[in-house]
Amino acid sequence: MINELLQYQEVDGKLREIEVSLSQSEERKKAAAAQSVLKSANENIARLDARAKDLAAKFNSLAKLYEQLKETEAEYENVVETCEDLDEINYIKKKAHELSEEVKNLSDNIESVSKEIKAVLEEFAKLRADTKKANAAYKEFAPKYAELKASKEGETGEIKSKLAAIEKKIDPEIMSAYKRHRQEKMFPIVYLADISGKSAHCGRCGNELPIADAENLKKGEIVECESCHRLLYAEAN
């Protein structure tokens, strides 16, 4: 069975080469990058839209309050002009000064909110431009990647047929472990163990194997490294 497993891995290596070449192709990279931008666009638009609504409400509230304070300020000025009581005039002037400071602070807050609104609008503009660019890139490279992938289907189909035939000769449990590691992007998966006397080490990471695993290797069985999880075998004597 070990020979069949090694044969399976050798054939599977050819399939992996195709998968890697497709994954690293410019067509796939550019299509994936554009898709990523488009995928996050709706989330960013929703975030900006919510922020814009909050800022607009805040701005309107501050502007309304500002108008009210300016009206009160004008009323104080009118009272000062018509009032003859000195104490009352001094009191009104004091309140008018306090109001003037409040108006100034409010004006600063309005300016700050205005700047935030401007920043949000600029981000909106950038997002629209990026989305337009990403959409164009996706429309260009997604079909190219699909075409490239389709061009490999005949070759990958033949390899998968060979793999299916070899798989029938391999223990299902071992095959299951192999496929699990394959999905984890591990490759190569099967390694020759280094056996010296009673001890054995993983041929991939050098981890010393338990005595029981060393004995099983000598019996021609396949064991899994506890450290790197490769499937290990021993050369037949």
Could you name the CATH architecture of 19-156? Answer: Orthogonal Bundle (1.10)
Quick check: pTM over 0.85?
A: no
Region of residue 188 (left: phi > 0; alpha: psi -120 to 50; beta: else):
beta
More confident residue, 8 or 79: 8
223-224 β-sheet, strand order: 190-192, 231-233, 223-224
Q: What pLDDT digit, counting tens, does each position of 159-169 carry? A: 999 999 999 99
pLDDT band at 155 (very low <50, low <70, confident <90, very high): very high
Return phi, psi of residue 39, to 5°.
Answer: -65, -40
Domain ranges of the chain: 19-156, 171-233
CB 234 within 8 A of CB 220: yes
d(CA 44, CA 34): 15
| pLDDT over 90 (residue 199) | no
The mean pLDDT of the chain is 85
Reported confidence tier of residue 50, pLDDT bands at 50, 70, 90 = confident
Q: Of 28-37, 67-76, 122-131, 223-232, which gets the smallest average pLDDT?
A: 67-76
Q: How far is Cα 80 from Cα 74, in angstroms, rounded to an integer? A: 10
Instruction: Return the amino acid letter for 51.
Output: R
Distances (CA, A) of 83 to 69, 89, 96: 21, 7, 14
Mean pLDDT of 16-43: 90
Q: What torsion do the CA atoms of 65, 69, 75, 76 make, to the nearest 10 degrees? A: 160
110 phi/psi in degrees, rounded to 5: -65, -40
| Vertex 176 angle, CA 170 and 181, to 5° | 115
Max CA-CA distance within the chain?
A: 120
Is residue 153 predicted with pLDDT exceeding 70?
yes
3-state secondary structure of 192: strand
**What mean pLDDT do residues 108-118 have?**
81
Mean pLDDT, residues 116-136: 86
